[in-house]
Amino acid sequence: MKNLRFVLGDQLTHKISVLAGADPETDVILMVEVDSETQSVRHHKKKISFILSAMRAFGDELAARGFFVDYVKLDKLGNCGTFTGELMRALERHKPDHVVLTEASEWRVLEMQRGWLETCDVPIRLLPDNRFICDRPRFVAWAQGRKSLVMEYFYRDMRRLTGLLMDGDQPAGGRWNFDAENRRPAKPDLWMTAPLRFPPSARTEEVLKLVDARFGDHFGDNAPFWFATTAKEAEQARDHFLKNNLPQFGSTQDAMQRDQPFMNHAVLALYLNVGLLDPLDLCRRAEQEWICGRAPLAAVEGFIRQIIGWREFVRGIYWLNMPNYTKLNHFGASRPLPSFYWSGETKMACMRAVIGQTKIHAYAHHIQRLMVTGNFALLAGLDPHEVHLWYLSVYADAFEWVEAPNTIGMALFADGGILATKPYAASGSYIHKMGNYCATCVYDPKIKSGPHACPFNPLYWDFIGRHQDQLGRNPRMGPVYATWRKMDSARKGHISQDTEQIIAAMTAGTL
């Protein structure tokens, strides 16, 4: 029996369900690069280069294992530019008895696959995505009957399920969560080892030239390109992080430093999200660093929580609430995305730094995304869908299943509390406390009003005032609204005037 096994660009693991039981003697592996996916949003050039390079490397690995790989490159003559079109062409070429697929990670593509079940004359087997610890039915069962979905409780169940950092039925160290120990700003003399970098292979150089030629007007820099593009390289990057950065990861994971884009973060999410690394294996290796005394429990727990807790949780939220989740707009925010989100040209030092490093590396760590670019978008009332598309475009690790909940739910609270229990809104004092951007900024976080005040300060209180009806009864916002209610009318008037001037400057491109 001849099968056509269609492997997508984020399914680059030999353990993926579409390849289970594959027979090199009879089966054909189909992999395609198509314009409709490279331009579903205007992806960062480096993101496109990473995915295409990793796809080509994986195709070569499959061929080395004896498979016939029908690999359709982006610039191949006759490439029709869509998954559906390329599948139909492959059916004509190979005339298989069956088509085998793994469910796509994004709603849009999964709907496309479901459409093929109805329109293809060849029988199709659509298999579950087995790259995650908590499959979709398990998450639905966990969520059923709960008044609210709290990540911490989900995370504890994932700890019990996997046995990670468990002492029998109790958490190692007597606590589930060491987050209180992981919120310190970084000292200026902190030594940080940069992520492992890989020189582009000849295969990648070919992709870089293709991307520069076809997507030269997309956001971001293609060079220097240093991402891993094979599982072997990704595993080297993993081991480098575990040895050099994991011990300090915990205490500084919320810190931000000018000219230190990576801090002690892993920069492994992009490899996890395309299949080059296995999440459970990564967590077990991190756990082993604690067992062997090479990394403190707080750091290891915080790292593992991001993977088996947060990463798995946001995926569950995504599938539970699609297809309408990306359209949610709890606060009715409608201002268009300012041009400086693309250019980085703003006098705000923190925004300039984060957008600038995003342009260069297609990367910013989670606090930069949440508390700088996301926080500004929340306070300024930017349209959530536009902000969502920006995040989906500019980061190499951004796939909709993980990006949308982090943007719509976590950063913007546009889902009204499905994901988070309160908005992560903050004034300039938070950014000043956790980073060193403010030292070189024309705006001062210690000034509350006037032209020299940090824009985050009036924007924060204006946001609080605008949304008192929606947030005033939130128990986690109680102290904030107690302060707001005590403010005199003159102070509130200054906040309103300052906000108007900030929004006008933002619109004019002079902020």
Element (DSSP H or E) covering residue 30: strand 28-32
Element (DSSP H or E) covering residue 28: strand 28-32
Q: Is 21 left (phi over 0), alpha (psi -120 to 50) or beta?
A: left
Kindly tell me if the per-residue pLDDT of 191 is higher than 70: no
Tokens of 414: 């546009």
Tokens of 100: 């085998």
- CA 491, 492, 495, 497 dihedral sign is negative
Instruction: Report pLDDT for 119.
Output: 92
| Cα torsion through 372, 375, 376, 382, rounded to 10 | 140
DSSP secondary structure, 199-227, as one string: PPPHHHHHHHHHHHHHSTTSSS---S---
Confidence of residue 186 (pLDDT cuts 50, 70, 90): low
Mean pLDDT of the chain: 95
Mean pLDDT lowest among 137-146, 149-158, 173-182, 203-212: 173-182
Instruction: Report pLDDT for 493.
Output: 93
Tokens of 193: 């080892």
Per the document, the length of the chain is 511
User: What is the widest separation between alpha-carbon atoms in the chain?
Assistant: 79
Instruction: Report pLDDT for 190.
Output: 61
Rounded Cα distance between 371 and 437, Å, is 13
Instruction: Report pLDDT for 272.
Output: 98
Cα–Cα–Cα angle for 132, 133, 135, rounded to 5 degrees:
70
Confidence of residue 193 (pLDDT cuts 50, 70, 90): confident
Kindly tell me if the per-residue pLDDT of 397 is higher than 90: yes
- Residues 415/469, Cβ–Cβ less than 8 Å: no
DSSP secondary structure, 40-60, as one string: TTT--HHHHHHHHHHHHHHHH
Pairing of strands 28-32, 68-72: parallel
Q: What is the pLDDT of residues 441-477, one digit of tens each?
A: 999 999 999 999 999 999 999 999 999 999 989 999 9
Contacts of 176 (CB under 8 A, 6+ apart): 152, 155, 156, 159
3-state secondary structure string across 408-471: HHHHCCCCCCCCCCCCCCCCHHHHHHHCCHHHHCCCECCCCCCCCECCHHHHHHHHHHHCHHHH
Other CB atoms within 10 A of residue 478 CB:
11
State which amino acid sits at residue 473: R
Instruction: Report pLDDT for 455.
Output: 97
Residue at token pair 């250019």: 343
Instruction: Report pLDDT for 261.
Output: 87
Instruction: Report pLDDT for 223.
Output: 95
Rounded Cα distance between 135 and 345, Å, is 42
Contacts of 340 (CB under 8 A, 6+ apart): 346, 351, 352, 355, 506, 509, 511
Percent above pLDDT 90 for the chain: 90
Residue at token pair 């067992």: 291
Kindly tell me if the per-residue pLDDT of 257 is higher than 90: no
Instruction: Report pLDDT for 188.
Output: 62
Mean pLDDT lowest among 238-242, 251-255, 326-330, 398-402: 251-255
Contacts of 174 (CB under 8 A, 6+ apart): none
Average the pLDDT over 54-73 and give the result.
Answer: 98
- Residues 10/131, Cβ–Cβ less than 8 Å: no
Instruction: Report pLDDT for 260.
Output: 84
Other CB atoms within 10 A of residue 148 CB:
9
Confidence of residue 1 (pLDDT cuts 50, 70, 90): confident
Instruction: Report pLDDT for 189.
Output: 56
Confidence of residue 132 (pLDDT cuts 50, 70, 90): very high
Cα–Cα–Cα angle for 410, 413, 417, rounded to 5 degrees:
95
**b vs e for 315-328, b when ≥16 Cβ sit within 10 Å of the residue's Cβ?**
bbbbbebbeebbeb
Tokens of 253: 């994971």
Q: What is the pLDDT of residues 299-353, one digit of tens each?
A: 999 999 999 999 999 999 999 999 999 999 999 999 999 999 999 999 999 999 9
Instruction: Report pLDDT for 298.
Output: 93
Kindly tell me if the per-residue pLDDT of 219 is higher than 70: yes
- Any bridge partners for residue 100, and if so which? 5, 125
Confidence of residue 200 (pLDDT cuts 50, 70, 90): very high
Rounded Cα distance between 75 and 70, Å, is 15
Element (DSSP H or E) covering residue 255: none
Rounded Cα distance between 511 and 495, Å, is 17
Check residues 238 and 188 and name the one with the higher pLDDT.
Answer: 238
Name the DSSP letter for residue 260: B
Instruction: Report pLDDT for 256.
Output: 87
Instruction: Report pLDDT for 268.
Output: 97
**b vs e for 364-391, b when ≥16 Cβ sit within 10 Å of the residue's Cβ?**
bbbbbbbbbbbbbbbbbbbbbbbbbbbb
